[in-house]
Amino acid sequence: MMAKFKFVDVVKWLATVIQLIGYGMTGLNLIPYNIYMFFVGIFLWFAVGFMWKDRAIMVVHVGAFISLLIGYLNA
């Protein structure tokens, strides 16, 4: 029997898949599309942190967003 997924579970797994695609695109040197995938994954993981009320997840993804944005703008 298949367990029911909550909305947050769907977002969590979607974010995970998108992040993994971003890593794969980095390995294939598909720049800047890899960064776009990371931005989407970061946003979705931040949303998961918000839904869980988990500040640690939110803070780490705000940091990741700022780091990627600065790197992208300086490239």
Domain ranges of the chain: 7-74
Task: Give, in order, the Cα–Cα distances in Å from 57 to each of 6, 8, 12, 25.
Answer: 18, 14, 12, 24
pLDDT tens by residue, 31-71: 999 999 999 999 999 999 999 999 999 999 999 999 999 99
Specify whether the CB–CB gap between 64 and 49 falls below 8 A. Answer: no
Specify whether the CB–CB gap between 42 and 61 falls below 8 A. Answer: yes
Confidence band for 3, pLDDT divided at 50, 70 and 90: low
Confidence band for 5, pLDDT divided at 50, 70 and 90: confident
Q: What is the pLDDT of residue 1?
A: 47
Q: What is the pLDDT of residue 45?
A: 98
Question: Residue 10 corresponds to which tokens in the numbers above?
Answer: 């769907």
